[in-house]
Amino acid sequence: MNYLKEIKFHYLLLIALALLVTWVYTNHDNNKFVKATEKSISSVVIVASYNNSSYSLRPVSIGSGVIFSKDGYIVTNFHVVSQGKVVKVKLGDGKEQVAKIIGFDINSDIAILKVLPEDLLVPIRIADSSNIKIGDKVLAIGNPYGIGISVSSGIVSATGRDYGNPYLELIQTDAAINPGNSGGALINEKGNLIGINTKIFSKTGAYQGLGFAIPSNAITEITSEIIQYGKVRSAWIGNFRVSDVRVNLSNKFLNGLRVIEIDEFGPLYESGVRATDIIIEINEAASSWANLTESLKSLTFGEIINLKIISSNGEIKAIAISSDDVEKFN
């Protein structure tokens, strides 16, 4: 009998210890998130775009932004500010300023704003996004649905997500990102920026656990280019999205990239490429996502990229596309 009581005692003791360890771990985890939020939340601002300078009408677009430097540079998404004529920024202390758009990059959906420097501007600390790993805990800070700065938590679900855009790879997270979060911060447990929240994948337009952020390393490069030159000095062949596909060509299966979307301007479109066309060769090498992204990264202005295409009518054609400056088409 005493033996059974002893077993029961030890069993209950183990349960108590397990609950204690869980509580300590959870409490420690929560404290890390609280400290991370306190460290970075003042660096995230509300961004609103208006059609007139009187602000008598509702904004045409509302989003978020991140203070990048003490001299007043703010990073946001281009789609947040592209529709209006005047942009206002609301800082953490409630003060509002009219912001100047310094420049933007359509390919990455990044715009740089400038406000008057103030003592209260707190630039966010930036982490090396190449060090993030799947499963890392993250916080998303932004202005969802225009209700004010809010925080949600999640993990890094994937890295190197392309979302079909060959110019940029993204971080995927399940932290709640909703309309209005665009341009806001994705931070790590230390409160340092690892990405700028940019889009969601949703059939309803609301959060479904599939959010995407532009990595901080890309943000740093893009921001530096825009601040210095007003644009990103990268070669461009057009705005388009592709997806992997297998092609049966004369009883031989090849990897290809199907064009699923293409804007009706730019060198690629002008060369005759259309949605549903399939790229089966890039610079005389096999067609693959890696080959396409690397070929675009290494392009210089005026340089040729050679593609072999299967058009929607089954015709196979080789085309030589000369890269250009995206600003010529804006």
3-state secondary structure the chain: CHHHHHHHHHHHHHHHHHHHHHHHHHHHHHHHHHHHHHHHHHHEEEEEEECCCCCCCCCCEEEEEEECCCCCEEEEEHHHHCCCCEEEEECCCCCEEEEEEEEEECCCCEEEEECCCCCCCCCCCECCHHHCCCCCEEEEEECHHHCCCEEEEEEEEEEEECCCCCCCCEEEECCCCCCCCCCCEEECCCCCEEEEEEEECCCCCCCCCCEEEEEHHHHHHHHHHHHHHCCCCCCECCCEEEEEEEEEECCEEEEEEEEEEECCCCHHHHCCCCCCCEEEEECCEECCHHHHHHHHHCCCCCCEEEEEEECCCCCEEEEEEECECHHHHC
- 9 residue type, one letter: F
Burial of 20 (0-12, 13-18, 19+ CB in 10 A): exposed
Predicted local distance difference test score (pLDDT) of residue 18: 59
What residues does each domain of the chain span? 129-229, 240-329
How far is it, in rounded angstroms, from Cα 21 to Cα 13?
12
Q: How far is CA 227 from CA 99, 110, 222, 244, 323, in A?
A: 14, 12, 9, 36, 23
What b/e sequence results for 141-175 when a residue is b if at least 16 CB atoms lie within 10 Å of its CB, and e otherwise? bbbbeeeebbbbbbebbebebbeebbbbbbbbbbb
Query: For residue range 8-25, what is the model confidence (pLDDT) as tens digits?
Result: 655 666 665 655 555 545
Q: What is the pTM of this model?
A: 0.77
CA-atom Rg of the chain in angstroms: 24
Query: For residue range 58-106, what is the model confidence (pLDDT) as tens digits?
Result: 889 999 999 999 999 999 999 999 988 899 999 988 899 999 999 998 8
Residue 112 near residue 223, CB atoms below 8 Å = yes
Query: For residue range 38-47, what is the model confidence (pLDDT) as tens digits?
Result: 999 999 999 9
Higher-confidence residue of 296 and 326: namely 296
pLDDT at 207 over 70: no
pLDDT at 230 over 70: yes
Q: Which residue numbers are catalytic?
A: 79, 109, 182
Closest CA to 180 of 147, 138, 213: 147
Predicted local distance difference test score (pLDDT) of residue 305: 93
Share of the chain above pLDDT 70, in %: 85
How far is it, in rounded angstroms, from Cα 290 to Cα 263?
22
Which class in CATH covers the domain with range 129-229?
Answer: mainly beta
How far is it, in rounded angstroms, from Cα 47 to Cα 80?
8
Which class in CATH covers the domain with range 240-329?
Answer: mainly beta
Dihedral over Cα of 294, 296, 298, 303: its sign: positive
How far is it, in rounded angstroms, from Cα 269 to Cα 264?
6
User: Using 50, 70 and 90 to split pLDDT, how confident is the model at 168?
Assistant: confident
Predicted local distance difference test score (pLDDT) of residue 174: 93
Predicted local distance difference test score (pLDDT) of residue 54: 67
Beta-carbon contacts of 244 under 8 Å, excluding residues fewer than 6 positions away, are: 255, 256, 257, 258, 289
Note whether 129-229 and 240-329 share their fold.
Answer: no
